[in-house]
Amino acid sequence: MPSPYDSDPRLGELVVSQHELDVRVAELGRQITLDYAEHPPLLVGVLKGAFMFMSDLSRAIDLPVEFDFMAVASYGSTTRTSGVVRIVKDLELDLTGRHVLLVEDIIDSGLTLSYLRRTLLARDPASLAVCSLLVRDHYEVEDLDLAYVGFRIPSDFVVGYGLDVGERYRNLPFVCHLIAEPEVRR
């Protein structure tokens, strides 16, 4: 059955297929299960982009994990970061003494991750690790202190599997390039 997105002229080349996502998320879940066997983590999802990834990842982790969510803003409705990160929705749970796994959709400029790490570390967790579905090729994983990475991708703007532009395309079961327009209007 054809998808309504099959003829969408804004959707470009496939970056990560649904099958590749399924396989890699299962691998990440197995590794997290091993790494946190003694201390099941509190998964902190960064809304809205990471919700699909976190949902699938949590089901691949064979431990009694807990969930909380934060929402931050740095993009608005454009394809370029504003350079300013602000918390739109904060956590409800106390992180003190907890093993926290921050779940991100994509590491782009590193600005949001840096801000979130500082903010969460100030709340005195027992440990803080980061799991990101996607990381841009031009960033060194070691520099960003990432424990788990799904895929390294080129710098082109991507949508799908939770990632959006102007709240569209989040529900795609894959990740693909977004073909740029002279100006993105929302």
User: Strands, DSSP E only, in the chain?
Assistant: 11-16, 42-47, 66-73, 86-89, 99-107, 127-136, 148-153, 158-159, 175-178
Overall size of the chain counted in residues = 186
pLDDT at 12: 92
| Active site members | 108
Q: 10-residue block means of pLDDT along the chain (186 residues)?
A: 68 95 98 98 96 98 97 64 77 97 91 90 97 85 76 93 93 93 42
Place of tokens 């740029």: 180
What the chain holds in terms of domains, given with CATH numbers, is 18-154 (3.40.50.2020)
Please classify residue 8 by burial: count the beta carbons closer than 10 Å to its beta carbon, then call 0-12 exposed, 13-18 middle and 19+ buried.
Answer: middle
Q: What is the pLDDT of residue 94?
A: 97
Identify residue 47 by its one-letter amino acid code: L
Give pTM, 2 decimals. 0.87
Looking at residue 141, its pLDDT comes to 52
